[in-house]
Amino acid sequence: MTAAIVAQGLVKRYGETTALNGFDLEVAEGTVLGLLGPNGAGKTTAVRVFATLIEPDAGHAEIAGLDVVRQARQVRQTIGLSGQYAAVDEMLTGQENLELLGRLHHLGRRGARSRAWELLERFGLTEAANRRLKEYSGGMRRRLDLAGALVARPKVLILDEPTTGLDIRSREATWETVGELVSAGSTLLLTTQYLEEADRFADRIAVIEHGAVLAGGTPDELKDQVGGHRLEVTLSRPADLSRARSVLASVAAGEPVSDAEGRLSVTVAAADGVLVDGIRRLDAAGIEVVDASLRRPTLDDVFLALTGHIVETPTESSSEKEAQEVVR
């Protein structure tokens, strides 16, 4: 398949900090790629290079066959971009913001107005359509910014943590609209802190850390790399965690992971009978279990195995508060 997004050996430094360090990526046309990594891994820097907001110090990148440095203007006409913070005009109403973008994309007055209203309905903003943006909450600004990225039905859509701060209904509306664009042939590069979104919507995933891609593949391929099933138990007494780790060492195929709440996760080599066996061993040691389950690896497990970090998903309330603070 033809590549819509290509990066080869990208390097970007900020003083003594190297944000991108030989970053390579390829995204096929009409597909969704999820770019995952811990905070500071280089995800947003890569997005800014693709969006022509900054130039790399070394390497090469193309969007739809256009060089992001030499053909930056044409690239900007090809992409739709939504960053982590809403890029909207506070002095205009929601409808005026979207109509302005439509006119800039040469949709014409009637076409811009029709597309603006379509997106306002899709993102639940019709009641606030004639209110100035300074009256919008952080979540409403975020929804309008996402709508703005979709106005021109771009060939390549770049979304940097698009649904952080949105409620479940708004997140679903976002993905329904984005899904329609991808079905029509658009390409999506996505960064997100919600790994279930990447698992559900991404065709392929790339995990980045220290400015370079550690691993890539479909969600199932990455899970297979981690291997095994997970035995998860929740103990009645968190103080028993250390003993529980020792008890389950005989069935573990990897280092157990635990938290302060009394939850313990162990990779097991074989799934048959291991759940019952593990509970029996803990019971024989006098360790009380309040919950136990056996499951396949998730992207959280992949993320932890590759980066050594656990993804901290932001709460809706904290994300909303952060967005409001940024726009003040």
Residue 73's CB is within 10 A of a number of other CB atoms, namely: 10
- Report pLDDT for 312: 61
CB of 4 closer than 8 Å to CB of 64: yes
Separation of alpha carbons 181 and 146, rounded Å = 13
Angle between helices 108-122 and 94-104 (to 10 degrees): 130
Percent of the chain with pLDDT over 70: 92
- Is the model's pLDDT at 309 over the cut of 80? no
Neighbour order of strands in the sheet with 79-82: 79-82, 156-160, 187-191, 32-36, 204-209, 212-217
- Report pLDDT for 197: 87
Q: For the chain, first and last CA: distance in Å?
A: 44
Separation of alpha carbons 192 and 302, rounded Å = 15
- Report pLDDT for 313: 58
Q: What domains lie within the chain, and their CATH numbers?
A: 3-219 (3.40.50.300), 228-296 (3.30.70.2190)
Separation of alpha carbons 49 and 25, rounded Å = 12
Residue type, position 24, single letter? D
Residue type, position 138, single letter? G
**Which pLDDT band, with edges at 50, 70 and 90, does 173 fall under?**
confident
